[in-house]
Chain A
Amino acid sequence: QKEVEQNSGPLSVPEGAIASLNCTYSDRGSQSFFWYRQYSGKSPELIMSIYSNGDKEDGRFTAQLNKASQYVSLLIRDSQPSDSATYLCAVNTGNQFYFGTGTSLTVIP
């Protein structure tokens, strides 16, 4: 079992819709959770971090963490074509930092 698992997609949503990206992790001791966005040909950039159960909102982005279910998600409201990218989930277990393989999102104008 991989440490961090994501659906590779591709995920397509129409402009203005909500995009929902999901991630599960295997280490119950994981302490911090991150979402990165990577545009084609560019390096990943950090867009959200979350450490406690519940929701964390930042503009159009909401990260959700459920430690009991070992599940973290990213919601993008009012999706824009500029949100089209690969989204990487990352988990810090305290000893190691693991990345998922990423979910490709396409927002259709």
Chain B
Amino acid sequence: GAVVSQHPSRVICKSGTSVKIECRSLDFQATTMFWYRQFPKKSLMLMATSNEGSKATYEQGVEKDKFLINHASLTLSTLTVTSAHPEDSSFYICSATQGASNYGYTFGSGTRLTVV
């Protein structure tokens, strides 16, 4: 089945620094990947849709200059949290689909970001 790899699984960074999270589709090509954020005991919140070779589409209220998304190839999307602050601490999850509507989304294992 489809596998999505996400790294790192856990990162602690200092306030003001930037953190890059990688999301790779291992056995399929993903023209579209999705980035979610989840606070403890809350539901998934879609942050942006990442499209290979074009600019990401951000959801309302998500700062595009703070959460930089790059989808440089059909198997890799990256999310960079720039100038991180403690309120950016969260669980970030990427997902991808093989494209057809009868495929579900496959999720990466998630990245626990803690900004101190």
**Which residues on A are within 8 Å of B, measured CB to CB?**
31-32, 34, 36, 41-46, 49, 51, 88, 90, 92, 94, 97, 99-102
How many interface residues does B have (CB within 8 Å)?
18
Tell yes or no: B58 within 8 A of A by CB.
no
What's the least CB distance linking B67 to chain A, in Å? 18
What's the least CB distance linking B89 to chain A, in Å? 14
Assess whether B104 is in contact with A42, with CB atoms less than 8 Å apart: no
Cα distance, A92 to B108, chains bound together (Å): 19
Number of A-B contacts (CB under 8 A): 47
Assess whether A94 is in contact with B101, with CB atoms less than 8 Å apart: yes
Most chain B CB within a 10 A radius of its CB, from A43, A99, A101: A43
**Which residues on B are within 8 Å of A, measured CB to CB?**
6, 34, 43-44, 91, 93, 97, 101-110, 112
